[in-house]
């Protein structure tokens, strides 16, 4: 087995309820190039090479929990950024689909490289065994996106369009930070973009929280949003209205 198919795992969640439909086994991988100002998993930024797993080892560990999945659960790979370990995830999903397991990829899309035919061929192989792509759209404006994450978003938006063209079901997520990612014009522009993607099944507003702040402190990293606050229920509802979240077929029932 090649080195590219060895996965470097940060942690697992055996009874996940938010990263895809039903009960999920969630595999969090190491490594991320983004530096989102509100990141709640900064300990996954470094691409450390400990806790190495083959795809078969990772799948066998997940499959032990299959009795919890019932008819609509399955396996989700998140991070960090799972596309930095593309070949590992691709083989893991191939093994999962061979057993009829629903697969979900939770990504921010930053490694997407449409100008590299070899990378795109590997990505196509992954998509063949991906039942759901959960995409974090941090900010629609490229300048604000770079300020928020350290990276442009052109390739991320290109990934969304490409996956939709391939017919892959999409869930879109947006973290709502008052004064940072909640302006009405930006949300309207995000809504307009999402509406160009025919395979979107769910749009979610994720309210900003500070549950990961202690991780920044433990890592000795300056937290850039010291003055940010949690959005109110009314602010979340207003953002949901601008993104028309209730209109999508997989919208959660309230």
Domains of the chain: 3-247 (3.20.20.70)
Are residues 99 and 74 in contact, defined by beta-carbon separation less than 8 angstroms? no
Query: Among 47-56, 210-219, 233-242, which stretch is predicted with the lowest mean pLDDT?
Result: 210-219
- Res 120: pLDDT: 98
Are residues 157 and 194 in contact, defined by beta-carbon separation less than 8 angstroms? no
- Res 1: pLDDT: 43
Token pair in block for residue 80: 């960090």
The mean pLDDT of the chain is 94
pLDDT in tens, 82-106: 999 999 999 999 999 999 999 999 9
Q: Is the pLDDT of residue 59 over 90?
A: yes
More confident residue, 252 or 96: 96
User: In the structure, what pLDDT confidence band is assigned to residue 48 with cuts at 50, 70 and 90?
Assistant: confident
Strand partners, 171: 134, 202
Q: Is the pLDDT of residue 16 over 50?
A: yes
């Amino acid at each position: 087995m090649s080195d590219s198919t060895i996965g470097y795992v940060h942690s697992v969640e055996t009874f996940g309820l938010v990263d895809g439909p039903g009960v999920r086994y969630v595999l969090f991988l190491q490594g991320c190039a983004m530096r989102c100002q509100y990141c709640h998993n900064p300990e996954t930024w470094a691409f450390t090479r400990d806790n190495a797993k083959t795809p078969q080892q990772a799948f066998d560990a997940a499959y032990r929990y299959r009795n919890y999945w019932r008819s609509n659960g399955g396996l989700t790979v998140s991070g960090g950024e799972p596309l930095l370990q593309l070949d590992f995830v691709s083989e893991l999903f191939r093994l999962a689909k061979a057993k009829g397991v629903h697969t979900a990829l939770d990504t921010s899309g930053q490694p997407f490289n449409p100008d590299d035919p070899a990378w795109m061929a590997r990505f196509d192989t992954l998509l063949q065994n991906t039942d759901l792509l959960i995409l974090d759209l941090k900010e629609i404006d490229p300048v604000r996106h770079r300020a928020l994450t350290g990276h442009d978003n052109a390739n991320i938006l290109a990934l969304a369009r490409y996956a939709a063209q391939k017919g892959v079901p999409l869930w879109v997520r947006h973290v709502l930070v008052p004064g940072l990612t909640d302006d009405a014009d930006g949300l309207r522009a995000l809504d307009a973009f999402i509406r160009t993607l025919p395979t979107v099944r769910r749009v979610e507003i994720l309210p900003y929280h500070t549950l990961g702040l202690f991780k920044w402190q433990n890592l000795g990293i300056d937290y850039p949003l010291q003055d940010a606050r949690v959005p109110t229920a009314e602010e979340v509802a207003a953002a949901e209205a601008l993104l028309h979240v209730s209109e999508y077929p997989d919208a959660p029932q309230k």
